Structure 1
């Protein structure tokens, strides 16, 4: 019997659920990195209306398999890390909301993936860390700069240079974690959180992501340049037209079912 895939993709209606399942600690070894990249590439070609990334087991992930560093010839190192970063960027560019659910320990590669998602949910006691300093390295899948985007350069320096672990409640105070859920109901709450986004106006969510990317790369002026055409595109969608009609007929508390595509 073949070994089970370390990354599993399932669907609950409009919601895609990507589960890390590489026991006992969901280590990102070579096989997991390969399957992870293949799955994100598939999702880029077949985008869902929302993606939830979660993990099975006691920990979310103990991070990258350190043995990989001995397997990569020095002349191939730049290409290897460029490939890992390209997958992170592909995740960021999905035209739908992405949610990372962290119920417990989330280190290095997994934390960097979380930082590339639109939203991060966690338990108060979940622990996060970019601990590459322990092997005289630095995060190479984009974690440092994405942490700086969320929490500021000073906090990014602190977390990366100390290599300390930080609780979910601390990162929520910093603006890195968006929502905290109880341990006992965490997976159910995270799924419901993501499903709410999946059932929403998907193209409008995608437009929001495009505007925010414009802001990140060009400040307010960069985002302003994108807004008129993006707004015009949304006004042509069926979801928008139905929602406007429902608002006029029933007021702001209207209930509109979005198809997320048209």
Structure 2
């Protein structure tokens, strides 16, 4: 399928989605939302997904030119959020495979929170995360008000959201906002190594880990223990579990199929 605003490739169990409007710092338009949605629907055979941006930035959020507001004009931003951003965040967090954000530069506004919706965020040390919403009188959407306090605590979440100050990638990693910040020259190798690892890992087990950790916020300990029992029972019947045990006993590298 041909795309105008993104690039999407799959090979060896790895899907790579690149936001491809570098002249606009990969900011979102309606067209880009629609193309991303189509690409994600076609990623079902992949065992890992990488999301990144072309050029010098990851994503600057919404392209304001795509929904330009004339002086004095009112606009329903809730429609944009409900129609495009909310479905994207729900899709990323529920995909049955690990999703890696390769943050190669600035991630601002919704772009920052789209990265944070991914399961693992690896950023170049030159990258910055900016909750820029307060600068134009808005709130951190795309999951921002939910994920920020859970990742870094209320004090830091409020500081990031109220001041809209850029957070360097190294500090983001120190705060626990992202998984890792690496030297710019090492970004591709770090992400590719991680993707290759996931592409040959026990896929069902990774999907269960992702699902359970993301849902655990709403469960009591007793409820979670019961869910762990159920998951262990189901995964214990999987081909990958049997292969993992056999490989361990035979002192060889396992050959996981994702089944």
Q: Normalising to structure 2: TM-score of the pair?
A: 0.90
Aligned partners of 1:183 and 1:171: how far apart in 2?
Answer: 15
Q: 1:244 to 1:10 in 2, by over 3 A?
A: same
**Matched residues in 1 for 2:243 and 2:101: separation?**
30
SS in 2 for 1:139: coil
Give the direction of change, closer, same or farther, for the CA distance of 1:122–1:86 in structure 2 (3 Å limit).
same
Partner of 1:15: 14
Could you tell me which runs of 5 or more consecutive residues in structure 1 were left unpaired when the two chains were aligned. Answer: none
The structure-2 alpha-carbon separation of the partners of 1:167 and 1:222, relative to structure 1 and needing over 3 Å to count, comes to farther
Task: Report what 1:33 is aligned to.
Answer: 33
Task: Work out whether residues 215 and 222 of structure 1, in 8 Å CA contact, stay in contact via their aligned partners in 2.
Answer: no
| Per-residue deviation, 1:135 | 0.9
Structure 1 residues 148, 42: CA separation in 2 closer, same or farther (over 3 Å shift)? farther
SS at match of 1:184: helix
Judge conservation of contact 1:214–1:223 (CA < 8 Å) in 2.
no
Q: Which residue is equivalent to 1:180?
A: 181
Q: What is the CA–CA distance in structure 2 between the aligned matches of 1:37 and 1:249, rounded to whole Å? A: 43
SS in 2 for 1:121: strand
Query: 2: CA distance between counterparts of 1:143 and 1:151?
Result: 12
Work out whether residues 8 and 15 of structure 2, in 8 Å CA contact, stay in contact via their aligned partners in 1: yes
- What is the correspondence of 1:206-225 to structure 2 with a 5 Å cutoff? 206-225=207-226
Q: Per the alignment, in what secondary structure is the counterpart of residue 140 of structure 1?
A: coil
The alignment covers a number of residue pairs equal to: 254
Contact 2:125 2:183 in 1 (8 A): yes
The secondary structure found in structure 2 opposite 1:67 is: helix
Structure 1 residues 215, 4: closer, same or farther in 2, change over 3 A? closer
Q: Is the 8 A contact 1:212 1:223 kept in 2?
A: no
TM-aligned CA deviation for residue 180 of structure 1: 2.1
Aligned to 1:236: 237
How far, CA to CA, are the matches of 1:246 and 1:61 in structure 2? 42
Task: Give CA deviations for 1:22-46 in whole Å, capped at 9, x if unaligned.
Answer: 1211111222122222323333xx2
Where does the alignment leave 5 or more consecutive residues of structure 2 unmatched? Answer: none
Conserved 8 A contact 1:130-1:139: yes
Under a length normalisation based on structure 1, what TM-score does the superposition of the two structures give?
0.89
Deviation at 1:55, TM superposition (A): 1.4
Instruction: Tell me how far apart the structure 2 counterparts of residues 40 and 137 of structure 1 sit (CA, whole Å).
Output: 28
Instruction: Report 1:1-262 matches (<5 A).
Output: 5-24=4-23, 25-43=25-43, 46-70=44-68, 77-83=77-83, 84-250=85-251, 254-260=252-258, 262=259
1:127·1:165 contact (CA, 8 Å) conserved in 2? Answer: yes
Counterpart Cα distance in 2 of 1:62 and 1:206: 29
Distance 1:165 1:54 in 2: 19
The answer to whether the Cα contact below 8 Å between 1:47 and 1:96 also exists between their aligned partners in 2 is no
Q: Distance in 1 between matches of 2:88 and 2:223?
A: 25
Paired residue secondary structure (2:184): coil
Question: Is the Cα contact below 8 Å between 2:22 and 2:53 reproduced in 1?
Answer: no
Structure-2 change in CA distance of 1:176 and 1:49 (3 Å)? same
Is contact 1:97-1:197 (8 Å) kept? yes
